[in-house]
Structure 1
Amino acid sequence: MDIFLGIMIPFIGTTLGAACVFFLKDRLHPAIQKILLGFASGVMVAASVWSLIIPAINLSEGMGKLSFLPAAVGILLGMGFLLFLDSHVPHQHLDSEEAEGPESHWRKSTMMVLAVTLHNLPEGMAVGVVLAGLLSGESGITTASAITLALGIAIQNFPEGAIISMPLKSEGGVSRKKAFLMGTLSGAVEPVGAALTILLAGVFLPILPYLLAFAAGAMLYVVVEELIPEASEGAHSNLATTGFAAGFILMMILDVALG
């Protein structure tokens, strides 16, 4: 039950956020959007450090002074994997008029959903690999720390669900119901990615430190490549930085106090 709950919590966060399209105006105020993007960045960076990179190093302590190696290799592989997907999957970010990746004739709304889907994939992987460590019983990962990571990602998924569904209504020209469904669909990759990662880690348990760091690298790529640039667009302000600090501190508190 704990495993199923851990897999589904982030998806529930996205779904609840996407439901904002039924209750709020067609578009979030730019200042609010900056704060939320900064907040999501802070949560993801803190989760990468406390829930993924530090456990990866701790699991490798038998390597002595080289205990950093699996974490370093995993981070590079994770960032490289997202860079590959970013270059080979057509997608379009919010507030951007140009699509990225291979040339495609897909609708803008479809490519906006794909952009968020690429963003959500590493989050699902992160939850999956931590749950796999919990299942192994040999990693030192506790039920509380696994659920804390899932909860932290769900918290930052809530504003992201709103950020994707509301522009789909206002800019994509779709109905509120369809915008909600597409926003929810963008988060469906998380439980799928988590389940697949659990299966993969079950087969390759000896490389669990690499998988933890791989998920961290993928999440950090999303923060640096997408979230921070989007939060910094437009007139200069400290709103995104304030949101980042709030998200980082909240996730740190959750991980240390509950993990």
Structure 2
Amino acid sequence: MRRSLSDVVQRSLTGFAAGVMVAASVWSLLIPAIDQAAAMGHWAFLPAFIGFWIGVLFLLLLDHAVPHIHQNSGQTEGPASRLQRTTMMVLAVTLHNIPEGMAVGVVYAGYLSGSAQITAAGAMALSLGIAIQNFPEGAIISMPLRAEGLKKSRAFAGGVLSGAVEPVGALLTILAAEHIVPAMPYFLSFAAGAMLYVVVEELIPEMSQGKHSNVGTVFFALGFSVMMMLDVALG
């Protein structure tokens, strides 16, 4: 690609990533969380409800605590900072990636424990879906950095660094598997709440404002259906 993404391409990539994240939140995280609390009977929704809201509030806190800026916004979010614009753009995508790494880590922790009703195929479906949507996310951050005047190597490094939090978060979660399993429904729904916060607060506005909003919607549906098929077929 050249120095910048066209508006149509950017909306397509953003919509696709949002669709994958919403489907992953429902099929790979919230539904398993409710299923694992089935012994609670009519209250089986409670762990998922509590974990979901903790995830939302956690991302809300990070959104206010970390200085960052989005590509199409001239206004810095979070506390006042003297960081460069390019650095804050990387931090914005890094915030998006935190719940994705946690989601993969929680699911694999459940699988490795052998006591959380999570299959290897189900864990693979989630990690594959997250990996697929990382392609458009990487482009969404690297290409604007290139447009800001950074060299190709530095723009590429910025995209990589924004996603580095995912394997780190997943590994830490897996290492704590034996402590997570008893509260697995809460952790699964926590990751879902955090991801849906990102989708609704950031991705959907980016894909739907102005012209070509229907393009973002179509690719949202495409991403949702791809993740849904992966989870059902492999899970």
TM-score w.r.t. the length of structure 1 is 0.89
Counterpart for residue 157 of structure 1:
134
Q: Which amino acid aligns with 2:226?
A: L
Aligned twin of 1:102:
79
Counterpart residue number, 1:136: 113
Does structure 1 retain, via aligned residues, the 8 Å contact 2:33–2:185?
yes
Q: 2:154 maps to which residue?
A: 178
What are the superposed Cα offsets for residues 97-117 of structure 1, whole Å, 9 maximum, x if unpaired? 111000000000000000000
Checking the alignment, whether the CA contact within 8 Å between 2:8 and 2:212 is kept in structure 1 is no
Alignment match, 1:230:
206
Number of the residue aligned with 2:21: 44
1:158 partner amino acid: F
Q: 2 CA distance for matches of 1:49 and 1:134?
A: 18
Shift of 1:27: 0.9
Give per-residue Cα distances to partners, 1:19-73, cap 9 Å, x unaligned.
xxxxx11111101111111111110000000000010001000000000000000
The one-letter amino acid paired with 2:131 is: A
Q: Extract unaligned runs of 5+ from structure 1.
A: 1-23
Residue 187 of structure 2: aligned partner: 211
Which moved further from structure 2: 215-224 or 197-206? 197-206
Partner Cα distance (1:195, 1:86) in 2? 23
Superposed CA RMSD in Å reads 0.9
| 1:72-118 residue CA offsets vs partner (Å, 9 max, x unmatched) | 00100000000000000000111111110000000000000000000
Structure 1 residue runs of 4+, over 3 Å off? none
CA-CA distance at 1:236 after TM superposition? 5.2
Q: Distance in 2 between matches of 1:105 and 1:225?
A: 24
Contact 1:201–1:208 (Cα < 8 Å) also in 2 = no
Sequence identity, in percent?
Answer: 64
Letter in 2 for 1:144: A
SS of the residue 1:181 aligns to: helix
> 1:106-125 maps to which residues of 2 (within 5 A)?
106-125=83-102
In the aligned structure 2, how far is the partner of 1:228 from the partner of 1:218? 15
Residue ranges of structure 2 left out of the alignment (5+ in a row): none
Check if 1:74 corresponds to 2:51: yes
Q: Is the 8 A contact 1:46 1:252 kept in 2?
A: yes
In structure 1, the residue matched to 2:229 is: 253
Q: Distance in 2 between matches of 1:104 and 1:145?
A: 41
C-alpha distance in 2, partners of 1:237/1:169? 24
**SS of corresponding position for 1:204:** helix
Instruction: Please give the alpha-carbon distance, in whole angstroms, between the structure 1 residues aligned to 2:206 and 2:227.
Output: 21
Q: Identify the range of structure 1 (59-68 vs 194-203) with the bigger mean alpha-carbon deviation.
A: 194-203
Which residue number in structure 2 is paired with residue 55 of structure 1? 32
Relative to the length of structure 2, the TM-score reads 0.98
Within the candidate set 156, 162, 168, 2:145 is matched to 168
- Partner in structure 2 of residue 17 of structure 1: none
Residue deviations 1:124-174 (CA, integer Å, cap 9, x gap): 000000000001101111111111101101111101101100110112x21
Structure-2 separation of matches of 1:55 and 1:175: 44
2:41 to 52, 64, 67: 64
Partners of 2:41 and 2:14 lie apart in 1 by: 38
